[in-house]
Amino acid sequence: MRKAIFGGTFDPIHVGHLHIAYEALYNLKLDKVIFMPSGNPPHKVNRVVTAAEIRYEMVEAAISKEPLFEIDDYEINNSNLSYTYKTMEYFNNLESQTDWYFLTGVDSLMDLKKWRNVDILLENCNLAVFSRPGYTHEDIVQMKNYIEKTYKKEIMYLEIPVLDISSTVIKEKIKLSRQIDYLLPCGVQEVIERYHIYK
């Protein structure tokens, strides 16, 4: 089996996230993409993040009609800070025969050397990074080569079309009472309205 963990705050999840998940599914020939809403991400300790249970519900609604997508609550059930190396260690121990991937943006690749226990992370998964706005191909290749040389592990770079949609922009549109349904997967807007978030 080939499975990928797609981590993120998903605050809220939007069509850009699903676009990335589908492209990873096809490009990496995955059997499953598992969405992992973050519990307490260390890089967002000073930011206001919507309650984990609501973010989980939004993701659940977004992927409900796709049998190759799943959701897992491992990180939101963990009261400690959500470190990716611990998450991948957990899943690798849980399914040691599975070929695990961790799906993240090139912005994370650029900061990877600051992450906790990168060597343990790369022992427990294949890192697959996707394009994000604001990074040149040269910058990405240079950092990819640096990480591969430093940690002796290949990094997969998914050159997929970028949908420049951000959760921040969606929140701003909600505050301004603007249309957002075209940016959100089916069912997500209903969750947002039910809990009156982002107002």
What's phi and psi for 196, nearest 5 deg? 55, 45
Q: What is the pLDDT of residue 136?
A: 87
Q: Say how far residue 26 (Cα) sits from the centre of its chain.
A: 17
Dihedral sign for Cα atoms in the order 163, 103, 79, 111: negative
Q: What is the pLDDT of residue 44?
A: 58
Q: Which helix (H) or strand (E) holds 44?
A: none
Say if strands 69-71 and 99-105 run parallel, antiparallel, or are unpaired.
Answer: unpaired
CB-CB neighbours of 139 under 10 Å: 13
Q: What is the pLDDT of residue 161?
A: 86
Q: What is the pLDDT of residue 43?
A: 57
CATH of the domain spanning 2-195, picked from 3.40.50.620, 3.90.70.10, 3.20.20.70, 3.20.80.10: 3.40.50.620
d(CA 66, CA 24): 14
Q: pTM of the prediction?
A: 0.93
What's phi and psi for 38, nearest 5 deg? -75, 145
Tokens of 32: 């499953």
Give the mean pLDDT per block of 10 residues along the chain (199 residues): 96 97 97 93 71 96 97 92 92 97 95 95 97 88 95 94 91 96 96 96
What's phi and psi for 35, nearest 5 deg? -80, 130
Say if strands 32-37 and 69-71 run parallel, antiparallel, or are unpaired.
Answer: parallel
Q: What is the pLDDT of residue 78?
A: 87
Expressed in angstroms, the distance from the first to the final Cα of the chain is: 42
| Distances in whole angstroms, Cα of residue 120 to Cα of each of 35, 45, 87, 144 | 21, 23, 11, 18
